[in-house]
Structure 1
């Protein structure tokens, strides 16, 4: 069976390469708008499954991997900022706070129709950052394409006090511990 990552994210692709399995990538066309009253964890899980399903129509004999991430502080959701100004505003709001990054993973077997979905939350405690630290970070790393405006795999690690969680790769966008478990459940041999 083919293995397909339903994402064009360079971060997710680099993570999946760690498993040393051949795979393809395909862009899912999905509306990422949260549903009214939907909890962030539920949004992430729904979108991971929708991304896998969106790609599945083009891959009839494959294991499709979908993933999504939603960052939140209480009821406030932080998406991909897109601009430096929004990235700065997000980090100013998150400084000194603990933000939950809900990363969801879906594996869809298009041969059997079996869908596995799992959420992997990570609590991220941001340092009390100064405006100058935030501006310097955004100018250097330009974290405009990641939820919450901080790349823990890069310079963003300097913004944090702690990030306890079950899977260190979840915060980057593809929880490999959960993924390996799901792929083994589908018969893939890892390692």
Structure 2
């Protein structure tokens, strides 16, 4: 079996590779804002978990559509993450100003990182979706620490404006749940999803 990772995230790829799975990377090209708008229009009470699943599905379907229907032995995996803090769902800040404001709001507080997963078997056309959530507590950073961290550029393009596998790791004091979920891919959940599609985990692991 081959696994196609519908994501350009090096962190997700590294998680898979450390678990013995070498994916073929095919980054998706979807308008995430448009997907979110459509999902919220369809369900005004959409939960954060529902949102990340909708985003993951859109990314995965875009990549899966580029493969012929007869593709054998291939699974397509897509993921998406958002941070929920203070009842608000936030994604990637994209600009330094937004990242600084976000860290000032969440320092010393708690949040929940939600990651949605969409897994599709090209042989059968069957798909499964699921979300994983992990609770976090953030360090009480000073303004100077926030400015220095944001200046590295790392928080600009990651969900919630932080990482736990990079420069942001000293600023997350508690991770209550699966750490991979925070990085962007829950491996225990992925294993259960592969089994649901009738694929054994070691069918994906490199020989």
TM (norm. structure 1) is: 0.90
Greater CA drift, 63-72 or 172-181: 172-181
- The 1-side partners of 2:18 and 2:193 are apart by 16
User: Between Structure 1 and Structure 2, how many residues are aligned?
Assistant: 190
> Structure 1: which 5+ residue stretches go unaligned?
none
Structure 1 residue runs of 4 or more that deviate by more than 6 Å after TM superposition: none
CA RMSD for the aligned pairs? 1.8
Given the alignment, which residue of 39, 45, 56 partners 2:47?
39
The 1:83/1:141 distance shift into structure 2, 3 A limit, reads closer
Q: Any stretches of 5+ residues in structure 2 without a counterpart?
A: none
Residues 126-178 of structure 1: per-residue CA shift (max 9 Å, x gap): 1222111211222246321101111111221211221101x211100011111
**3-state DSSP of counterpart to 1:4:** strand
Aligned with residue 172 of structure 1, among 170, 183, 200:
183
Indicate the residue corresponding to 1:27 in structure 2.
27
**Aligned counterpart, 1:7:** 7
Separation in 1, partners of 2:48, 2:19 = 28
Shift of 1:74: 3.4
Task: Give the aligned partner of residue 130 of structure 2.
Answer: 118
Contact 2:91–2:160, Cα closer than 8 Å, also in 1: yes
Equivalent residue number for residue 171 of structure 2: 159
CA distance in 2, matches of 1:75, 1:162: 19
Which residue of structure 1 lines up, in the alignment, with residue 193 of structure 2?
Answer: 182
**Shift of the alpha carbon at 1:102?**
0.5
Contact 2:16 2:22 in 1 (8 A): no
Query: What is the alpha-carbon distance in structure 2 between the residues aligned to residue 39 and residue 31 of structure 1?
Result: 20
